[in-house]
Amino acid sequence: MMKKLITSTVLSLLFTAGAFAQNCFSNFTHTTSGSTASFTNTSTTTTTPNGSTSYYWDFGDGTNSSSVSPNHAYNAPGLYVVCLNVYFADSAANIFCSDNYCDSVLVSQGNPNPLSCDASFYSWLDTSAAPMTMVFGAYNSGSATATTTYSWDYGDGNNAVSSNFWHSYTYAQAGTYIACLTITVQDSGQTCTDTQCDTVVVVNNSNPVPTWCNASFYIDSSATNSAGIFIYNNSTPASSGASYTSYFWDFGDGNSSTLAYPTHQYASSGLYNLCLSIVSINGVGDTCMDTYCHTVGVDSLGNVYYKTNGPGFSLNVFDPATVGLNEELLSGVELFPNPSNGVVTIDLGNQIEGELTWSLFDLKGMNLGNGEVNSSSTKIDLSRLDAGIYLLNVSNGTAISNHKLQIVK
């Protein structure tokens, strides 16, 4: 009696599985035009209640899709084997049936404008958030017509997928991690994927962060010409005797430098977010970090900062204490009192002749004023300025003297 019951049950299961398999058929037709193939899904599946059908297309060129009837642009001409997998499952993801169908697709020409993508990214420590919180951002923020997915691997065993190119993540422990970003861009039937990894240094900033260092740079409007922008790195690494200072320039175009005074060539005109980060360790081992960012650049018409005759422009960073307009210093110039409550005296010491001018800048490189130095001791009333740090230079047209000026109230 028991043997008969088991046999009946097995036969019933086999019959049920076979019935479902006969109601799941994969099939499609296609047409091609140039580099694009258009697929029409003609598959049929069972109509069991509370079930769903999913599709997986393999286009034979390393890309895929889960759309019902997709269009796909091939980057190169050739014969491709395209396969469609059809799955039918219930609400508990139990697959009742699946079927696979493949066909060859002849593409007569390659895509003249293949989709490209770049997974380069940046990161920094967010001192305004919870300790050990890093800000991550992708340089490729996608386009209005593209669907972009960002898959982040933080290097600590955790990951995340987002459609937002910018976000923050809090690490559980300080240390050095290898973080990776995989970017997937879909646009007009094309798919592009790229992965890049970079080292991320996470600092435990739960204790108060020292503020005695200051990352800063400013644009020298007098030295800048039509082909490039000249910038002075006037950062102050430490209040007294820094034993170690590192620099990190993010040029805003996917390139960077660890030099204090780098030179960089931009490939095209435009606006770029230039950032300088410094890490300074003083004589007793305290670590200070600071970052300063400012928009720099030119446009093709010269309407932003400075005109350019070519497709790109150069950026040159100098030390304001050692480099002038023609890499010469104007010696003998003194500024007092410094700090000042607003009235400043430029003293030439009776050693400098010729026509001299002064220029005043804030730390963002904005020109706040200009004037003539008409005597060996010229007074300037700067009492209208807010308290802070400013840059004042004195020039005779061939050499320059740069001074950091502190206004106190």
Tell me what pLDDT residue 379 has: 86
Q: Using one digit for the tens of pLDDT, what is the confidence trace for 239-289?
A: 455 566 788 888 888 888 888 888 888 887 777 788 888 877 766 666 777
Is there a contact between 344 and 327 (Cβ–Cβ < 8 Å)? no
Supply 93's token pair: 């993801």
Q: How does residue 58 score in pLDDT terms, banded at 50, 70 and 90?
A: very high
Query: Cα(237)–Cα(242) distance, rounded to whole angstroms?
Result: 7
On the question of a common fold for 2-107 and 334-407, the answer reads yes
Is there a contact between 287 and 279 (Cβ–Cβ < 8 Å)? yes
| pLDDT of residue 302 exceeding 60 | no
Q: Which residues share a beta bridge with 40? A: 29
- 3-state SS assignment for residue 370: strand
Domain covering 121-202, topology: Immunoglobulin-like (2.60.40)
103 or 375: whose pLDDT is higher?
Answer: 103
Does the domain formed by 2-107 have CATH 2.60.40.10?
Answer: yes
Supply 82's token pair: 């395209």
Is there a contact between 61 and 80 (Cβ–Cβ < 8 Å)? yes
Is the bond preceding 208 in cis, omega lying within 30 degrees of 0? no
Give the torsion through C-alpha atoms of 17, 23, 24, 28, to 10 deg.
160
Is there a contact between 334 and 408 (Cβ–Cβ < 8 Å)? no
Tell me what pLDDT residue 23 has: 75
Q: How does residue 405 score in pLDDT terms, banded at 50, 70 and 90?
A: confident
Tell me what pLDDT residue 155 has: 92
Query: Cα(36)–Cα(108) distance, rounded to whole angstroms?
Result: 9
DSSP category for residue 91: T
Q: Which DSSP string do the residues of 313-324 spell out, in sequence order?
A: EEEEEE-TTT--
Q: Are strands 64-65 and 28-33 parallel, antiparallel or unpaired?
A: unpaired
CB atoms within 10 A of CB 267: 10
Q: In whole angstroms, how far apart are CA 26 and each of 23, 69, 77, 103?
A: 10, 12, 26, 11
CATH of domain 217-318: 2.60.40
Provide, rounded to the nearest whole percent, the portion of the chain with pLDDT above 90.
11
Least confident of 8-22, 33-47, 172-186, 211-225: 8-22
Burial of 346 (0-12, 13-18, 19+ CB in 10 A): buried
| pLDDT of residue 363 exceeding 70 | no
Mean pLDDT, residues 62-72 taken together: 86
- Classify domain 334-407 at the CATH class level: mainly beta
CB atoms within 10 A of CB 36: 17
CB atoms within 10 A of CB 375: 10
327 or 51: whose pLDDT is higher?
Answer: 51
Q: What is the mean pLDDT of the chain?
A: 74
Element (H, E) at 81: strand 78-90
Q: How does residue 176 score in pLDDT terms, banded at 50, 70 and 90?
A: confident
Tell me what pLDDT residue 221 has: 57
| Angle of CA points 141, 35, 142, to nearest 5° | 5
Residues contacting 49, CB < 8 A, separation 6+: none
Q: Are strands 95-107 and 147-153 parallel, antiparallel or unpaired?
A: unpaired
Query: Cα(52)–Cα(172) distance, rounded to whole angstroms?
Result: 40
350 — alpha (psi -120 to 50), left (phi > 0) or beta? left
Is the bond preceding 49 in cis, omega lying within 30 degrees of 0? no
Tell me what pLDDT residue 9 has: 31
Burial of 391 (0-12, 13-18, 19+ CB in 10 A): buried
Short-list 88, 103, 392, CA closest to 220: 392
Q: How does residue 57 score in pLDDT terms, banded at 50, 70 and 90?
A: very high
Provide, rounded to the nearest whole percent, the portion of the chain with pLDDT above 70.
71
Is there a contact between 245 and 279 (Cβ–Cβ < 8 Å)? yes
Supply 284's token pair: 């007793």
Is there a contact between 174 and 204 (Cβ–Cβ < 8 Å)? yes
Tell me what pLDDT residue 227 has: 54
Least confident of 24-33, 111-120, 149-158, 217-226: 217-226
Domains of the chain: which residue ranges?
Answer: 2-107, 121-202, 217-318, 334-407
Q: Using one digit for the tens of pLDDT, what is the confidence trace for 9-45?
A: 332 333 333 333 347 889 999 998 888 889 999 998 7
Residues contacting 90, CB < 8 A, separation 6+: 48, 50, 51, 96
